[in-house]
Structure 1
């Protein structure tokens, strides 16, 4: 199969970490927040039931977001750079579609040569001192079904699209007519393994290449 647009989740797909959980760990709130993240990714809770909740607990300031941006890059999944380079060499359009925090994901995208306007994630809002103020509550990616909305938007301009990710929210891309590849190289989730169109368990992201080219 060959796709015009290749979309990647970020957390546990491009990078080994779950960003919001790591921000929580930094604040001594890891267990509380990770349980909420996991419940959402496994489809036990709706994303909107945990999103505001987690950020209200953590209140990540600008310094925390900069710290997370560096962690995303340091913990990049094996094979990510070569995978993206190969896709770019084959003239594929690459987007990141993530329920994560956009300012933390942008430096990783930049390192991979993915333009800022192809990064779909949730903006964090700070006050003038760089303290946490809020997040973009209108963002489709802070609620269930958001990834399907972004994929639908992309499919208006492109014929074929694939979504690669590890969680329940990535499966939603199928509702927009996208092909969905589950990536189990970091976390294996039975629901995703069962419902994805294809599933890879290799530790390297390069395992998806034969499925998309």
Structure 2
């Protein structure tokens, strides 16, 4: 890619020549934790088990790309959640989870330009299902926590597509969505913040890093370091 240049304060680009047109794309894929929303859900769930610091340290290392096996890192974190109640998950969703600024506005702009919207996450269906309904998203894929008698068991359930939504699965999901709607990966936008987003970002025609880890920021076409998600519309015009 060409060297990164500052497009506007807190907004930089590389390898693209703006302005781009939103209507030239057909799909936008969002990561959830720390991209579409303000928290890492697994860390907030761990708070109820008194293990937040321990879990958050693993999450940070995984997002920075310092842990090679994302699946194993997630299994380790989920095991530490055993015994947490569904009521605490509800509390996390109602009281701690917030959309990042500009999230709803960007989704509406994309839908208005005819794009389909995918939420693909290494997080959990408990949250992605609610966000899919709340924002009227077209597709969502994430991991399913096992719940027995109203409490987490510390395990994940296999789903029809596989076991864990890691970086490779995010890429595969983006490509499947492209096939489903009849577009090429070059017509897709992928937005994320962590190392497990890099594979889908590399597969998409346009990659966007939002308040991202250094490794992700370095590789993205667009890096948004200040302001809301809808700053993408400064580069990719509706």
Q: What is the TM-score normalised by the length of structure 1?
A: 0.87
Kindly tell me: are residues 181 and 149 of structure 1, through their superposed partners in 2, closer, same or farther at Cα, counting changes over 3 Å?
A: same
Comparing 171-180 with 94-103, greater Cα deviation is found at 171-180
Distance 1:56 1:168 in 2: 22
For residues 196 and 125 of structure 2, what CA distance do their matches in structure 1 show? Answer: 17
CA offsets per residue over residues 79-128 of structure 1, 9 Å max, x none? 1111111111111101101110111222222221224xx1111112212x
Q: Aligned pair in 2 of structure 1 residues 102, 65: CA closer, same or farther (>3 Å)?
A: same
SS in 1 for 2:109: helix
Question: Unaligned regions of 5+ residues in structure 1, if any?
Answer: none
Q: Which residue number corresponds to residue 202 of structure 1?
A: 226
Residue equivalent to 1:101:
124
Q: CA deviation at 1:72?
A: 5.7
Aligned to 1:179: 206
SS of 1:44's equivalent in the other structure is coil
Contact 1:68 1:104 in 2 (8 A): no
Q: CA deviation at 1:178?
A: 4.4
Looking at secondary structure, tell me which structure has more strand per residue: 2
Equivalent residue, structure 2, for 1:35: 57
Q: CA deviation at 1:18?
A: 0.6
Task: Please state if 1:91 is matched with 2:114.
Answer: yes
Residue 111 of structure 1 is aligned with which of 111, 129, 134? 134
Matched, 1:164 2:191: yes
Superposition deviation, residue 207 in structure 1: 0.7
Question: In 2, Cα distance between the equivalents of 1:84 and 1:54?
Answer: 30
Matched, 1:80 2:103: yes
CA contact (8 A) 2:190 2:204 kept: no
TM superposition shift of 1:140: 4.1
1:17 to 39, 42, 54: 39
Residue aligning to 1:147: 170
Contact 2:201 2:208 in 1 (8 A): no
Work out the CA distance in 1 between the residues paired with 2:157 and 2:172.
16
Q: 1:48 Cα shift?
A: 1.4
Q: Note the aligned Cα RMSD (angstroms).
A: 1.9
TM-score normalised to the size of structure 2?
A: 0.79
